[in-house]
Structure 1
Amino acid sequence: MPVIRGRSALRMSGAAVAVMLLASACGGGDGQGSSAKARPKVAAPKGTPIVIGSVGHFSGFAGATSKSSPDAVSAWAQWTNDNGGINGHPVKVVVKDDQADPAKSLAAVKSLVEQDKVIALVGSHEAGLESVWEKYAAGKGIPVLGGSSNSTAFETNPLFFPTAQTGANYVALWTNAAKLAGHDKVGAIGCAEVPACQNLFSLVKSAAPKSGVTFAAGLAISASAPSYTSQCLSLRGKGVEAVITATSQEVTNRFVSDCAKQGYKPLFMIPGQSYQPDVAENPAYEGAYLANDSFDWFADDAAAKQFRETMSVYSPDSPLNTSATAGWASAVMFGKALAEATSAPPTSADVIKGLLARPAKDTLDGMIPPTTYHEGKPATVAACGWYAQIKGGKLTAPHGTKAICLA
């Protein structure tokens, strides 16, 4: 069973999930990876560069984890260029930080398209801001490939190609974690400061029956509260056995600690996008589950090993979490889409053609949920995800590292 030390169908609001993940993201993942060094194997590509862009909230509150997505795209691009590029063309990645500001997000995408001449957006990690620029991108014929695919655009826009789990299924994967761990009554905590965090409660209530569990309580908690003892006791009084966390990691840490002081130690369920190394080292998180929307970075299969090796060489300081694996999967998918392109250099139309030619229920060698891209219609993504559990200060895979699908 792979382990890694913690060292370093319902329709839902995509914005709610995005804000929920933004709230829980603030810190690093595990930088552990292969020490093998990738080396150029062929002459450097000399064709016209293929330019791709990535936009998102890559600084401040959520930047420490969300930036892993474009970091992975850049690592893939460097590895690709060191191995001949795509049909002799080097790949150039332009990253824009929108600081979670809608106006800056739209301006960033316009700049990428009009000035940098990108042919695709790859590995973006927005906070639900895709809505401010999705029509613009579609009007320009620019395909959008992952990374984080939780926004509604990936469920409704034919030019958005998810390479990770979509929002329609993600909360159901969390409730399924409770079922896998043998618990029945599920609760949730959400940041009181952001209404979208609290929208999680209705989403969990809707998702719970799909996993065969019961939603028992949802509590909005404030980051400024001096103690969460009363909330812990409230959840315990309602028989909550498993708690979904949709708060900042700092608040979650205090909440977990306060509950432990009261002898209340439910199963905590954490987004894999915001996994931090100190979580596994905290005894209060013993037994906690991660519900992952992208493949487990610590798996021992060939695809995960190549991901870790490449990251260790080209982006060694980037935290490893599902923000990173979602970005990586989007970059690999982009490369696959252009494998047979004949234009020199390739165009956005070539990318779209290549994506639509992918097989139905494509898993990209186990890196994405079974996904089918459709011409003129949104993609279809199976309700499958990956799970991990903290045991003895380690991140483990008690159910294996292959995707598990809801019945």
Structure 2
Amino acid sequence: MIRKSTKYLFYICFLFIFLVGCADRNTGSSSTSATPSKGSGSDKKPIVIGASLPLSGTLGYMGKDVADGIQAVVNDANDEGGINGRPIKFIPMDDAYDPAKHLANTRYLVDNEKAVAIVGSLGTEGLKSAAKYLNPKNFPVIGALSISDAISNPPQKSLFALPAPQSVEGPTLVEYAVKKLKSKRIAFVYQNDSWGEPAFKFSQEKMKSLGLEFVAVETFEPKASEMSTQLHRIKEAKPDAVILYALGSQAASFVNSAADENFKPALLGPSGLNSPEWIKLVGKNGEGIISCSSYYPITADNMKWVRDLHEKYKLSNPSSNSLMGTSAALVFIEAAKKVGNDFTPEALLKATEKIKSFDQKIGDPISFGKLDEGEKARRGQTTESIIILKDGLFEPEEN
């Protein structure tokens, strides 16, 4: 009798559990089957960011450095649990420094990959094209990597620019040549486009303020394959310093040709020269080249954490170029922390506007603002310091 009762009790319990389970599936009341609310961090879906970069072509070395700088910070953040429990997915896309490809990549990241922000895209003309598409969408480029004043003055809604602009960089090089090197005869070589022309203009204004004029000025086209003509004309002017506003293979061509011809003026160039890949192009011919940077030297003791990140994730050695990517990623994470679970482009744009004196620990603090707060509202950094190439590394100027 006891066995029979136990048997019936078992069947009743089984039937009860079965009916409750059916009810939960039909009503959707089970906590395990509830759909997370929009924007909730509990769904663990990746937060997608992307960048359009020159990963091939003349400036391929620079784009790869920037991508590694972003990836190092993203990997580290993901290892720490992501943002509100959600991992970050970074998608770099190659534009070969072509503005049309830059715009196409930006559209793809926004429309197809559903990115919440562009982080660390590089290139003046590409960024200007992308801004026309992104501004009406209130969609941010956090870390618009261009030193051209044209992308931040006047400020544009979508573009939060890094690092310091040409209105700082060009005059910094001129002042160093005149006051530190005591140069009297300075020549200037620049790329004939919207990147190079403003650099020359700002540098020329600085020269005039010091009561000087350039003894020779030469230009080259963005896709020039060699610089021998410019070198010979500059050499004829017998300068004691040359500001070479060039990057990549063009800058290397000038430096190497000058060495071949035993032409030895002081050489000064833009911050983008500080890359391990570019330094390889010039080898010993680059010894003593003067540049500048918005970031602390990679070799400094307080930058060990950056070097450690690149080593940990098996990325290329860090450089001033990769630090632009590091900076862009750090600013994005700072903005993302401010939006809670509202990972929308507009929320991130507004959060980035509120960043003030953010210590990224790789350079001067970063501040942004609303569009009506003036010309620096969309330029996070405004200072640079001199660095000099010694034994294969750019190091800070010795005071």
Please give the range of the TM-score, normalised by the shorter of the 2 chains: 0.7 to 0.9
**Map of 1:37 onto structure 2:** none
Pick the structure with more helix per residue.
2
Letter in 2 for 1:88: G
Shift of 1:102: 3.0
- Give the conservation status (yes or no) of the 8 Å contact 1:55–1:125: yes
- Give the conservation status (yes or no) of the 8 Å contact 2:53–2:94: yes
**Map of 1:288 onto structure 2:** 289
Letter in 2 for 1:184: S
Number of residue pairs the alignment of both structures matches: 346
| 1:146-295 correspondence to structure 2 within 5 Å | 146-151=143-148, 152-155=150-153, 156-179=155-178, 181-185=180-184, 186-190=186-190, 197=196, 200-209=199-208, 214-220=213-219, 223-224=225-226, 230-236=232-238, 240-247=239-246, 249-260=248-259, 264-275=263-274, 276-278=278-280, 281-282=283-284, 284-295=285-296
- Give the conservation status (yes or no) of the 8 Å contact 2:286–2:389: yes
Distance in 2 (CA, whole Å) between partners of 1:382 and 1:209 is: 25
Shift of 1:118: 1.0
Shift of 1:311: 1.5
- Give the conservation status (yes or no) of the 8 Å contact 1:147–1:327: no
Residues 188, 315 of structure 1: alpha-carbon distance in 2 compared, 3 angstrom cutoff? farther
Shift of 1:52: 0.8
- Give the conservation status (yes or no) of the 8 Å contact 1:287–1:390: yes
Structure 1: which 5+ runs fail to align?
Answer: 1-44, 401-407
Query: C-alpha deviations, 1:365-384, integer Å up to 9, x for none?
Result: 35246534235553355641
- Give the conservation status (yes or no) of the 8 Å contact 2:187–2:216: yes
Residues 258, 337 of structure 1: alpha-carbon distance in 2 compared, 3 angstrom cutoff? closer
Distance in 2 (CA, whole Å) between partners of 1:342 and 1:195 is: 39
- State the TM-score, normalized to the length of structure 1: 0.74
Distance in 1 (CA, whole Å) between partners of 2:45 and 2:227 is: 56
- Secondary structure of 2:236's counterpart equals helix
| 1:8-407 correspondence to structure 2 within 5 Å | 47-151=44-148, 152-155=150-153, 156-179=155-178, 181-185=180-184, 186-190=186-190, 197=196, 200-209=199-208, 214-220=213-219, 223-224=225-226, 230-236=232-238, 240-247=239-246, 249-260=248-259, 264-275=263-274, 276-278=278-280, 281-282=283-284, 284-301=285-302, 304-316=303-315, 318-343=316-341, 346-359=343-356, 361-368=357-364, 371-377=367-373, 378-380=377-379, 383-392=382-391, 394-399=393-398
Structure 2: which 5+ runs fail to align?
Answer: 1-41
Residues 212, 396 of structure 1: alpha-carbon distance in 2 compared, 3 angstrom cutoff? farther
- Give the conservation status (yes or no) of the 8 Å contact 2:58–2:249: no
Query: C-alpha deviations, 1:263-286, integer Å up to 9, x for none?
Result: 54221113232332336741x433
Percent identical across equivalent pairs?
22
**Map of 1:23 onto structure 2:** none
Letter in 1 for 2:159: F
Letter in 2 for 1:371: S
Distance in 2 (CA, whole Å) between partners of 1:200 and 1:179 is: 17
Distance in 2 (CA, whole Å) between partners of 1:207 and 1:187 is: 14
Residues 248, 159 of structure 1: alpha-carbon distance in 2 compared, 3 angstrom cutoff? closer
Distance in 2 (CA, whole Å) between partners of 1:83 and 1:365 is: 18
Distance in 1 (CA, whole Å) between partners of 2:241 and 2:58 is: 26
Query: C-alpha deviations, 1:199-225, integer Å up to 9, x for none?
Result: 654342123356786533212367456
Query: C-alpha deviations, 1:61-120, integer Å up to 9, x for none?
Result: 211222211221122111111111012111011112122333322221111111111111
- Give the conservation status (yes or no) of the 8 Å contact 2:162–2:380: no
Residues 314, 127 of structure 1: alpha-carbon distance in 2 compared, 3 angstrom cutoff? farther
Structure of greater relative contact order (alpha carbons < 8 Å, 6+ residues apart): 1
- Give the conservation status (yes or no) of the 8 Å contact 1:69–1:323: yes
Distance in 1 (CA, whole Å) between partners of 2:217 and 2:139 is: 40
Shift of 1:258: 4.6
